Chain A
Amino acid sequence: MFTSLSQKLTGVFDGLRRRGTLSDADVDTALREIRIALLEADVALPVLKEFIAKVREKASGAAIVKSIQPGQMVVKIVSDALVELLGAEAVPLNLAAQPPAVILMAGLQGSGKTTTSGKLAKYLTERQRKKVLLASLDIYRPAAQEQLRQVAAQIKVECLPIIAGEKPEAITRRALDTARLQAFDVLILDTAGRLHIDESLMAEIKAVHALSNPVETLLVADAMTGQDAVNVAKAFRDALPITGIVLTRMDSDARGGAALSMRQVTGAPIKFLGVSERPDGLEEFHPQRVADRILGMGDIVSLVEKAAANIDQAEAEKMAAKMQKGQFDLDDLLSQLRQMKKMGGISSMLSFLPGMSAMKDKIPGDAELQFKRQEAIILSMTPGERRNPKLLQASRKRRVAAGAGVDVPAVNRLLKQYEQMADMMKKFGKMSKKDLMRGGMKGLFGGQ
């Protein structure tokens, strides 16, 4: 549903490029597109207005007129301004305190405090070799304390034993005592979710804050939050000295405009992003990536990192060598399919590519299923058939189809796809490096 801002701006500036000048009216048109794009990304209006004013200041003037591609130039200005707003550098977690260093987690109901507390405990235990104690002050939601206890057990981190009926302030005292006596480095206090307008609960968390004197007070917020992000951030900022923000559910398709609102209003840096339901799904914050995402420009760095983490280097080199020789058999196709699967499938990869997030919607929902089927088809062939697909005559195809639980046309489709890829590989092999540079992909696709 979102179109990339850079695409839109390129459209806006297509006409301009020929004229070579940029009038105020042009800037206005561009800013209108930027405004819509950021609204679609859930950037709150008051924050947006300030932001637009800043961009206008930077965009009108000589810099743009001189640049060859005004559209790209504006995108760059916007992106730079976003990064600046989001905090140009990542700010690490501050644990400089007499142990135990207390981390207080605050946020609305359902923003992901308990899950994040667990992730943070795991992160500190494993990456920073800290001895961490978890304690839940959520006496309101049924089984909330039990949830944290189970999370702690799962990640093998200590959790303060639950005493039924104990009040949050008493739990805080007990947690502090336990942490001191048993020499914990870090104490993470998970609190009950509270609406920012709930005064008695806000008073409670203030009292807990005064009692525990935390080095970090983290506001946990859902990346999918809409316009209300500003109000939430304001209320928590007014009640507590927020030192950092954790944005959860960044693995959703939200563009994360809330990040901008939260950062702007609290003035506190974003420290972590929650990126999956797994206990290790916590990432350090990178402003450029989030800026790109808000602009719908994809996130190539993350894609490359993901690829680096998942792709078997040796396998990839073998493949590259084969491609150069123009050899490509069904075993290679299989290993490619598997690499793709490891990276989270096509739709996941597309979401990282600039301008491709829109394409994602066009991929049939069963694309991942197709992968599985294709894998099954290849696995139903003999090693000989995989090396030499020409062996596959009608009766063999029937056998393969039966083995993979598909029909013969599905086998044919796979073979056809394979042939096209093999053809392409051959052309690759024949092309010299120079040809590749000159003809590029056009040469490969028959050059129109």
Chain B
Amino acid sequence: MSFWTRLKDGLGKSAAKLSTGITDLFTKRKLDAAALEEFEELLITADLSPRLAAKLTEKLRKTRFDTEVSDEEIKQFLAGELTTLLTPVATPLRLEAGLQIVLVVGVNGNGKTTSIGKLAHYYAGLGRSVGIAAGDTFRAAAVEQLAVWATRAKARFYPGDGTKDAASVAFQSAESAARDGVDLLFIDTAGRLHNKEHLVAELAKIRRVLLKSIPEAAIQTVLVLDATTGLTALSQVEVFKDAAQLTGLIVTKLDGTAKGGMVAALADAYGLPVHAVGVGEGIEDLQPFVAKDFAERLCSIDAE
């Protein structure tokens, strides 16, 4: 089963909702103010932010107000808009010669550890030498969890020496990884809420410490976001963007929920690269993000 089939299955419910919603709304109907308002609401229930929903609705109003539209046209319009919005952000992780470090950060329970396991597996499959460092020194059994993923992904594992200092684990693992000839080192970090300043500041410290032995260009900081998150996703990105010098996003748990719209809301507000999306529990279920496919699946238009 291909990834996009899975994504379609995963997004199935939401896509179906958005799609039947559009069909119900625009079966040979005049695009009047009431219809536009319902369209806007439909977008909001798909977790596009109120801001983006308003923007898209306004665009639709400008071009098509008071004309007769079909559901198909609306879907095409929406898919087109979303593709335009998402294409610039669909960029994979940067892979260059020498040791590259990916610092993985995010709020508790967003799927950082699992994403690292899947990413490690993905890049190991591409023939890269991958390492994983257990920088979550806070949560119970976080190291054990990551160790299992390292084995599954056939990645080198850097568990740290039992210290509670995440920056020290990061620094040591970077040094060891460089010695071991690792191309790509993922560093896990403890989950932290974005409104806990001292915890967010700790991320800046990890980065500072890494910079002692690693050039800035070789460090990427990736925020893992749970797709079921509401508008706080925006404030999460807002905070981590500056405090941790975010370079990109990974969006998890896109399977099974009405979500997907949040990806667009984030692209609209911040334009940060979306490196990968998670659509299931299996080790293969985290894959690079492809804008057009995503937008079309979300609006239930078959690409074939």
- Residues of chain A having any CB pair with chain B under 8 Å: 1, 36, 39-40, 42, 44-46, 108-112, 115, 140-144, 146-151, 154, 195-198, 222, 224-229, 231-232, 249, 251-254, 257-258, 277, 347, 365, 368
Contact = CB atoms under 8 A, between A and B. Distances in A.
For the complex of A and B, list the 8 residue pairs with the smallest distance between their C-beta atoms, beginning with the closest: A226-B230, A110-B109, A142-B148, A42-B230, A150-B140, A147-B141, A143-B144, A143-B145
Interface stretch (B63-71, B171-179, B194-202): B194-202
Interface stretch (B42-50, B72-80, B91-99, B161-169): B42-50
Nearest to A153: B140
B44 A227 contact: yes
B232 A228 contact: no
A222 B235 contact: no
A427 B107 CA distance: 47
Interface in B24-52: 41, 44-47, 50
Given A147-B141, A227-B47, A109 B231 contact: no
A44 B46 CA distance: 10
A243 to B, nearest CB: 23
Interface of B: 13, 41, 44-47, 50, 107-111, 114, 117, 138-142, 144-149, 193-198, 226, 228-235, 238, 243, 253, 255-259, 262, 281
A109 B50 CA distance: 26
Nearest to A112: B109
A229 B243 CA distance: 29
B50 A226 contact: no
24 contacts: A1-B234, A39-B44, A42-B230, A42-B231, A45-B45, A109-B109, A110-B111, A112-B108, A141-B145, A142-B149, A143-B145, A147-B140, A195-B257, A226-B229, A226-B230, A226-B233, A226-B259, A226-B262, A227-B44, A231-B258, A249-B109, A251-B193, A252-B232, A277-B108
A290 to B, nearest CB: 15
A142 B144 contact: yes
B228 A253 contact: no
B256 A198 contact: yes
A140 B282 CA distance: 11
A258 B257 CA distance: 15
A109 B232 contact: no
Contacts of B258: 227-228, 231
B109 A111 contact: yes
Contacts of A228: 47, 228, 257-259
A44 B45 contact: yes
Contacts, number: 143
Given A142-B144, A147-B141, A197-B13, A225 B45 contact: no
Contacts of B148: 142-143
Contact of A45 (B41, B194, B262): B41
Give the interface SS of chain A, mostly helix, strand, loop or mixed: loop
**Considering residues B110, B114, B149, B229, which has the most beta carbons from chain A within 10 angstroms of its beta carbon?**
B229
B229 A225 contact: yes
Contacts of B46: 227
Given A111-B109, A228-B258, A146 B232 contact: no
B143 to A, nearest CB: 8
Contact of B139 (A46, A140, A147, A231): A147
A347 B256 CA distance: 37
Contact of A347 (B197, B235, B243, B255): B197
Contacts of A144: 141, 145
A225 B193 CA distance: 14
Contact of B47 (A110, A226, A365): A226
Contacts of B262: 226
A146 B141 CA distance: 6
Given A277-B108, A368-B197, A225 B256 contact: no
Contacts of A115: 108
Contacts of A254: 230, 232
Contacts of B255: 195, 197
A383 B47 CA distance: 58
Contacts of A142: 117, 144-149
Contact of A150 (B111, B141, B195): B141
Given A198-B256, A225-B230, A229-B230, 6 more contacts: A112-B109, A142-B145, A142-B148, A195-B255, A224-B233, A347-B197
A197 B256 contact: yes
Nearest to B141: A147
A109 B112 CA distance: 12
Contacts of A108: 228, 253
A282 B108 CA distance: 16
Given A109-B253, A224-B229, A45 B44 contact: yes
A110 B45 contact: no
Contacts of B109: 109-112, 222, 249
A98 B145 CA distance: 36
Contacts of A36: 50
B111 to A, nearest CB: 6
A430 B188 CA distance: 59
Given A42-B231, A249-B108, A277 B138 contact: yes
B51 to A, nearest CB: 10
B108 A110 contact: yes
Contacts of B13: 197, 231
B226 A110 contact: yes
A46 B41 CA distance: 10
A127 B282 CA distance: 41
Contacts of B147: 142-143
Contacts of B193: 249, 251-253
Nearest to B10: A197
Considering residues B41, B50, B233, B256, which has the most beta carbons from chain A within 10 angstroms of its beta carbon?
A: B256
A347 B239 CA distance: 14
Given A39-B50, A143-B144, A232 B139 contact: no
Contacts of A147: 139-142, 144-145
Contacts of A109: 109, 111, 253
Contacts of A40: 50, 231
Contacts of B238: 1
A12 to B, nearest CB: 18
B282 to A, nearest CB: 11
Contacts of B232: 42, 224, 252-254
B198 A143 contact: no
